[in-house]
Homo-oligomer: A and B are copies of this chain.
């Protein structure tokens, strides 16, 4: 795969990454990649998220076109969230990212210990 070696990280790109890689978005996208989900279904799948944050995350993802919100007018209403075609294209970048964290987590943890140790010794 040839990737650009000299990519500009300007404000728009930075903002987009912030909105798609933020605290809860990855978890939401991951779940929606497997299957469409109801609101409370997502809440249960991501136990630590608050209702407020989940709502905000879903709105943001919807606004950016990677998630779709479908209201089923039963009563009480059912709301179904699903990934869009655009959202599916995020799968690869996200997987590459998570593969990196999985693979290098041990090295990172060693680095942290070393750093903290040196820091402690310095005092």
A residues adjacent to B (C-beta < 8 A): 1, 3-5, 7, 9, 12-14, 16-18, 21, 23, 26-27, 30, 62-66, 86, 89-90, 92-93, 95-102, 104-105, 107-108, 110-112, 114-116
How many angstroms between the C-alpha atoms of A115 and B60 in the bound complex?
Answer: 10
Q: Which residue of the partner chain, among B3, B16, B99, contacts A7 with CB atoms under 8 Å?
A: B99
Q: Tell me if A's interface is mostly helix, strand, loop or mixed.
A: helix
How many angstroms between the C-alpha atoms of A42 and B62 in the bound complex?
Answer: 35
Return the chain B residue nearest A16 by Cβ.
B101
Given contacts A9-B26, A64-B108, 4 further A-B contacts (CB under 8 A): A9-B30, A13-B98, A18-B23, A63-B111
How many angstroms between the C-alpha atoms of A1 and B92 in the bound complex?
Answer: 10
Q: Which residue of the partner chain, among B13, B65, B105, B111, contacts A112 with CB atoms under 8 Å?
A: B65
Q: Is the CB of B101 within 8 A of A97?
A: no
